Amino acid sequence: MRAVKRDQKTRIALTLNGRKLAAEAEPRLLLSDFLRHGLGATGTHVGCEHGVCGACTVLVDGVAVRSCLTLAVQAEGREVRTVESLAAPDGALNPLQAAFRDHHALQCGFCTPGILMSFTDFLARTPHPSEAQIREVLSGHLCRCTGYANIVEAIKEVASSSHAPRSEG
Amino acid sequence: MKPRPFDYVQPDTVDEALALLAEHGDEARILAGGQSLIPMLNLRLIEAAVLIDISRIAELDTIRSDGGVLEVGAAVTQNKLLAWPNLARESALLAAGLPLVGHFQTRNKGTVCGSIAHADPSSELPLLLAMYAGEVVLRAQRGTRAVPAKDFHKDMLTTAREPDELIVAVRFPERPRERVAFREIARRHGDFAIIAVAAAAGANGAVTLGVGGMAGRPVTRAVAAHDAASAADAIGQWAEEIKGYDDLHASAAMRRDMFRKLAANVVAEVAQ
Ligand code: FES
Ligand code: FES
């Protein structure tokens, strides 16, 4: 049983984008802040800090979650993936990122990391979604630049391309 | 914002969790998916001396269908229940209502039991539990009890859970071959509903109607639905009885209006 006092720091070890890392945190530290300040992975953005905007969405064990509604200590031993994992090591964009660029699906880019991570999870589970399904998942994100139409177009392109293996949609 | 400091404990078993609850009582908060609790902590609407994180207790992360009852453990997420193979056939109303709980991203972490424990009057899961006349299984070191939905949800954010008790599971009686409808009005899809309305018709044609967001807790009632006019009368009368309430999102009168319209729709949907 793990127990950590409020003012005590505990060592949290996790796998971030394939690398095993560890840092110290007190119990109240949010995973979003742990990623950005503890581990230096600033690709994950923080907007509302109460689960509404979706900017902070990351994958924990392959599943898209709000990192601002997860405590860092809860990520112990987990596999965390952030937007930094999407492009190839040489910087080449992956198909989802490339489609966002091609469709002008990002303007300021504040909401983009979270949306990319949500759809990384969703398209892995549902490779050929309907537009209604795409919009339903996108409703978990706020884009202050209101670029939703282009975001939907970008995701539709990836969903209908051969990048995604065909299965039940 | 960031939460105020708290002690954190992560028990490995239910027994350990119960010992912690016996020790800390209402100083402690149970953390399961955290999709209601952590926003409130971040906004500093509430404070907790101790958070007891039950999300890794394996024995709570189980769904069982046994003797016509679907039992959902306290660590089971909403999306995990949605993916349960026989859900649409045996528990059609759950399959209809669950996709309206929060968003895809919050259902990945938010638990079924946590939403029921939170007891927001307009949220979907308490209404679903009431519609199924389900029960909540509460365990403490002194014993286990199963509390019917109508006794569990007492009022806004208020339940029958005692400070030393842990919700270990909720039970939904399975209802195959039921015709169902679930509708809600929210400012945006995935936001908290202003009101949520459900209807279910069994093989004998009897219609049960339920509503969340009209009273401090979800309420249900059997309605006569042989024709649209008598259904509308029954709904109108019920709307006056439960009254609704005023808040930021809608006045009581607007809630009654929404209820009359949505209720007539869902009853018509299941009555054919
Ligand atoms: S910062 Fe996490 S949802 Fe807005
Ligand atoms: S691109 Fe600016 S917030 Fe979405």
Tell me which chain A residue has its CA closest to the CA of residue B38: A69
Tell me which chain A residue has its CA closest to the CA of residue B101: A140
A74 neighbourhood in chain B, CB within 8 Å: 34, 53, 55
Residue A123 lies in a domain: yes
Indicate if the pLDDT at residue A165 is higher than 70: no
pLDDT score, position A163: 55
The DSSP code sequence of B130-185 is HHTT-EEEEEETTEEEEEEHHHHEEETTEES--TT-EEEEEEEE--TT-EEEEEEE
Residue A166 lies in a domain: no
Mutant choice from B4, B108, B189 vs A, greatest count of A C-beta within 10 A: B108
Q: Is A109 on the interface with B (CB under 8 A)?
A: no
Of the three residues A82, A108, A128, the one that is the final residue of a domain is A82
Contact A66 B106 (CB under 8 A): yes
A33 neighbourhood in chain B, CB within 8 Å: 2
Does one domain contain both A144 and A102?
Answer: yes
Tell me which chain A residue has its CA closest to the CA of residue B99: A136
Full domain range(s) for residue A74: 10-82
Residue A58 lies in a domain: yes
pLDDT score, position B74: 98
Ligand closest to A110 (CA) is 2
CA distance A118 to chain B (A): 7
- CATH number assigned to the domain comprising residue A67: 3.10.20.30
Q: Output the average pLDDT for chain A.
A: 94
pLDDT score, position B244: 95
Indicate if the pLDDT at residue A14 is higher than 90: yes
pLDDT score, position B224: 83
pLDDT score, position A126: 94
Ligand closest to A65 (CA) is 1
Mutant choice from B4, B16, B103 vs A, greatest count of A C-beta within 10 A: B103
Ligand closest to A141 (CA) is 1
Residue A87 lies in a domain: no
pLDDT tens for residues A81-134? Answer: 999 999 999 999 999 999 999 999 999 999 999 999 999 999 999 999 999 999
Does one domain contain both A106 and A66?
Answer: no
pLDDT score, position A166: 46
Q: Ligand 1 — pocket residues by CB below 6 A? A: A 46-49, 51-56, 66, 68
* Half-sphere exposure at residue B266, Cβ-oriented, CA atoms within 13 angstroms: 27
Cα A35 to chain centroid distance, Å, stands at: 12
pLDDT score, position B188: 77
- CATH number assigned to the domain comprising residue A154: 1.10.150.120
Does one domain contain both A61 and A123?
Answer: no
Task: For chain B, list the domains and their CATH numbers.
Answer: 7-53 (3.30.43.10), 60-173 (3.30.465.10), 179-271 (3.30.390.50)
Residue A101 lies in a domain: yes
What is the C-alpha to C-alpha distance for residues B127 and B149, in angstroms, rounded to an integer? 9
Residue A169 lies in a domain: no
What is the C-alpha to C-alpha distance for residues B80 and A77, in angstroms, rounded to an integer? 21
Mutant choice from B52, B56, B104, B191 vs A, greatest count of A C-beta within 10 A: B104
Q: Which residue has the higher pLDDT, B4 or A169?
A: B4
Tell me which chain B residue has its CA closest to the CA of residue A33: B2
Contact A54 B11 (CB under 8 A): no
CA distance B57 to chain A (A): 11
Q: How much distance in Å is there from the Cα of B32 to the middle of ligand 1? A: 18
pLDDT tens for residues A15-70? Answer: 999 999 999 999 999 999 999 999 999 999 999 999 999 999 999 999 999 999 99
What is the C-alpha to C-alpha distance for residues A28 and B49, in angstroms, rounded to an integer? 11
Ligand closest to A144 (CA) is 2
**What is Dmax (Cα atoms) for chain A?**
51
Does one domain contain both A72 and A129?
Answer: no
Does one domain contain both A51 and A76?
Answer: yes
Contact A49 B109 (CB under 8 A): no
The answer to whether A159 touches A123, Cβ cutoff 8 Å, is yes
A136 neighbourhood in chain B, CB within 8 Å: 99, 104, 189
Residue A99 lies in a domain: yes
Q: How much distance in Å is there from the Cα of A146 to the middle of ligand 2? A: 7
pLDDT by 10s per residue, chain B, length 272: 899 999 999 999 999 999 999 999 999 999 999 999 999 999 999 999 999 999 999 999 999 999 999 999 999 999 999 999 989 999 999 999 999 999 999 999 999 999 999 999 999 999 999 999 999 999 999 999 999 999 999 999 999 999 999 999 999 999 998 999 999 999 877 778 999 999 999 888 889 999 999 999 999 999 987 788 889 999 999 999 999 999 989 999 999 999 999 999 999 999 87
Of B257, B151, B112, nearest to B197 (Cα)?
B257
Please count the structural domains in chain A: 2
A64 neighbourhood in chain B, CB within 8 Å: 104-105, 108
Does one domain contain both A15 and A76?
Answer: yes
**∠B57-B62-B68 over CA atoms, to 5°?**
150
Does one domain contain both A19 and A42?
Answer: yes
Does one domain contain both A15 and A77?
Answer: yes
The answer to whether A83 touches A43, Cβ cutoff 8 Å, is yes
pLDDT score, position A169: 37
Contact A3 B5 (CB under 8 A): no
Q: Is A70 on the interface with B (CB under 8 A)?
A: yes
Does one domain contain both A23 and A77?
Answer: yes
Q: Give the number of A-B residue pairs with CB atoms closer than 8 Å.
A: 107
Q: How much distance in Å is there from the Cα of A57 to the middle of ligand 1? A: 7
Residue A90 lies in a domain: no
What is the C-alpha to C-alpha distance for residues A68 and A54, in angstroms, rounded to an integer? 9
